[in-house]
A = this chain, B = another copy of it.
Amino acid sequence: MSYSGHKFLIAVDCVIFGFDGAQLQLLLVKRDVEPEKGAWSLMGGFLKEGEDLDTAAARVLQSSTGLDNIYMDQLRVYGKNNRDSGGRVISSTFFALINSKKKKQQLSDQFEASWFAISELPKLIFDHTKMVSDARERLKEQAAIKPIGFNLLPKKFTLPQLQRLYEALFNNTFDKRNFSKRMLATGALYKQEEKDKSASKKGAYYYKFIPNPVIGDFKFL
C-alpha cells in the first residue's frame, strides 16, 4: 500500500422494493447489533477486505433473503460524519425491485426479514428513511424512461400485472389502453402465445422483456 490516510468502515445497505401483484413493498430486517438493536432497518453489512462493492451488495442481499442473481443499481453514498450513532460509517447504497410473492415464506422463516407496505413503513434507523425515499425517486425516474421489472416480475408476466406495478409505484391509476400502447411502443416487450388464466376466465397474454432492448437515446431538442 503506497498511500496513507485515515481509513473508514464501509457499509453496504440495500433498498429492496418488492411487488406482490398489488402493493409496492419494502424489505426490512430487525437490526441485531447496538446501537438501535431491535429497530427496523435496511439490510446491510460491511464491505470486506478484497471484496468488490457490488459483490458485497449481492452478498448482503443473499445472506438476508436467500435471493440470488438480482441485479442491483447503485443509489448513492451517504457520508455525513454523524449519520450512524454507532461510529463513523460511510454507507454505499444499492437498490432493486423484485417479486415479493415468490419467496414469502422463505424470508420470514429463515431470516428476520419482512415485507412492509410502502405506505406503512415503521420508523427506520439513522438516515435509512431518507435512503428509501431517494431510492423510490430513482426507481420512478427509471420507470419513466424504460419498462422496469427485469428482476421483479416472473420472467414472463402480463400487461395487467405490469400496470399494477406502475400504479403502485406512482401511486396513481392509468388508462389501460394508453398504458399498453406506451409499453409496447418502447419495443422492449414481446408477446408470448401463452396466456395467464389465473386472474381471469379469458386469460391475459404473457409478455417477456427483450434482453437488451435498444431504447431510443434521450435527446435534447
Contact = CB atoms under 8 A, between A and B. Distances in A.
Interface string A130-157: 0000000000110110000000000000
A86 B1 contact: yes
A144 B1 contact: no
So how many copies of this chain end up in the complex?
Answer: 2
Contacts of A86: 1-3
Contacts of A7: 7-10
Interface string A33-61: 11100000000001111111110000000
Contacts of A141: 218
Interface in A203-221: 218-221
Contact of A81 (B6, B52, B79): B52
Nearest to A140: B220
Nearest to A5: B46
Interface stretch (A16-24, A101-109, A174-182, A188-196): A174-182
B175 A33 contact: no
Among A53, A218, A219, chain B packs the most CB atoms within 10 A around the CB of A53
A169 to B, nearest CB: 8
Contact of A182 (B2, B48, B218, B221): B221
A170 B8 contact: no
B143 A48 contact: no
A90 interface: yes
A10 B88 CA distance: 13
The 3 closest A-B pairs by CB, nearest first: A53-B79, A7-B7, A5-B46
Interface of A: 1-3, 5-10, 33-35, 46-54, 74, 76-77, 79-81, 86-90, 92, 140-141, 143-144, 166, 170, 172, 174-175, 178-179, 182, 218-221
